[in-house]
Chains A and B, each alone.
Chain A
Amino acid sequence: MTTIPLEAYLTLSVILFGLGVFGMIVRRNMVTVLMSMELALNAVNVLFVGADAHLSLVDGQVFALFIIALAAAEAAVGLGIIIAIFRLRKVDSTDEITDMRG
């Protein structure tokens, strides 16, 4: 069953997580920043499930389920915040929100 080594899952997870972090930095639109965050969360899930298949455990899959549930909650709250920002300020880009001088 475990013919695929752990390194393959690890490499895939590293690539996907790096792309997610890079998208979070480089994206201008706020909704696409949240999408890049979903990408990074999924990369962590790939690593959990791959390590599980390597160790023949199921604990990591339970954590992957928790991550999926928390990602759903995070998407709801994050998109609510984006809609609230747009409704109050009429902006949807991350360089127009400079109240904290960031």
Chain B
Amino acid sequence: MIQWLVFLLFSALAVLSALGVVLLPNPIYVILSLLSTLVAIAGIFFVAGAELVGALQLLIYVVAVTVFYVFVLTAVPWEKALKKDSHYRVAGLFSFPLIPLLYAEMLLVFLIGVSVSPKGEFRKLIQKFGNVEVIGGILFSKYFLAFELVSLVLLIGMIGAVIIGRKEAQTYDNHTP
């Protein structure tokens, strides 16, 4: 019962903050709202019993990624965005039926794919160890190749961010109509 109560509290906080992320005009308020959403989602992870994922959500998302966004907002003049309209209002209104269509497409792809796939048999119940130990064991045995590939992707992303973000010799004017 108390678990339901905590889950509903975190869900309400997450949904309200997500509405703030989508609707607020000022980018600084948007990043604060995103921070609140990420903390609430970390709480949902803790409620679901995923301590490692919740802790890493707090460490990586809430601390690292959000601070990174704040740094980028200092480099981009977000005050200019306040003078203009912050949303595509008419286009957003017309694109609203697109989202149920997107859900329908995902559901269709999932159902078609599952209906022709062979039945998986790797469902084994691991309950007697702690969460972190079990995830570490399965991460370094069954998903070890994916783990190494993620490290490669992070390296490539770091190199790409450095190369893309370096200073160019000249700047180009905006000639597009």
What is the interface of chain A, defined by CB distance below 8 A to chain B? Answer: 1, 3-4, 8-9, 12, 14-16, 18-23, 25-32, 34-36, 38-39, 42, 45-46, 49-50, 52-53, 55-59, 61-62, 64-66, 68-77, 79-84, 86-93, 95-99
Contact = CB atoms under 8 A, between A and B. Distances in A.
Given A4-B47, A72-B154, A88-B171, A29 B78 contact: yes
Contacts of A70: 150, 153
Interface residues of B, number: 87
Given A12-B11, A35-B21, A66-B146, A98 B177 contact: yes
B99 interface: yes
Interface string B135-172: 10011001100100010011011101110110110011
A65 B15 contact: no
B3 A3 contact: yes
B102 interface: yes
B75 A39 contact: no
Contacts of B122: 59
A72 B21 contact: no
Interface in B42-73: 44-45, 47-50, 52-53, 56-57, 60-61, 64-65, 68-69, 72-73
Query: Which A-B residue pairs are the 9 nearest by beta carbons?
Result: A73-B157, A26-B92, A23-B22, A80-B161, A80-B164, A53-B48, A80-B165, A76-B161, A79-B72
Given A49-B45, A92-B81, A18 B103 contact: yes
B119 interface: no
Interface of B: 3-4, 7, 11, 14-15, 18-19, 21-22, 27, 30-31, 34, 37-38, 41, 44-45, 47-50, 52-53, 56-57, 60-61, 64-65, 68-69, 72-73, 75-78, 80-81, 84-89, 91-92, 95-96, 98-99, 102-103, 122-123, 125-127, 131, 134-135, 138-139, 142-143, 146, 150, 153-154, 156-158, 160-162, 164-165, 167-168, 171-174, 176-177
A22 B96 contact: yes
Given A39-B21, A58-B131, A61-B52, A29 B86 contact: yes
A87 B44 CA distance: 39
A22 B75 contact: no
Nearest to A8: B7
Contacts of A68: 53, 56-57, 60-61
